[in-house]
Structure 1
Amino acid sequence: MKILEKLWQKSANTSRISGQWELEGWIRQLVSRTLDLL
């Protein structure tokens, strides 16, 4: 459910943050997935 919450916040803040938030979220996902593989 956390993912849906983040997506909701993202869609709500798109006009303000858009690209930067998306990049930051993508990097966090990549890091967390990499740590899971380790």
Structure 2
Amino acid sequence: MSTPKQPKPDLPIHLQQAIIIAASVLHQCLLYLEGK
């Protein structure tokens, strides 16, 4: 079994996903404020 070579993640997957979701929500808020 050969696994793709990749750096060991510093954060758990669920925490990375939470950060991505938070960044996405923040981005949507910024777009909403700019659109006012």
* Alignment TM class, shorter chain as reference: 0.5 to 0.7
TM-score (norm 1): 0.57
| Number of equivalences | 25
Q: Structure 2: any 5+ residue segments left out of the alignment?
A: 1-8
Structure with greater Cα Rg: 2
Residue aligning to 1:26 = 24
TM-score (norm 2): 0.60
Would you tell me which structure has more helix in proportion to its own residues?
1
Residue aligning to 1:35 = 33
Q: Structure 1: any 5+ residue segments left out of the alignment?
A: 1-13
The percent of aligned pairs where both chains have the same amino acid is 4
Residue aligning to 2:5 = none
Bigger RCO (CA 8 Å, 6+ sep): 1
The Cα shift of 1:15 comes to 4.4
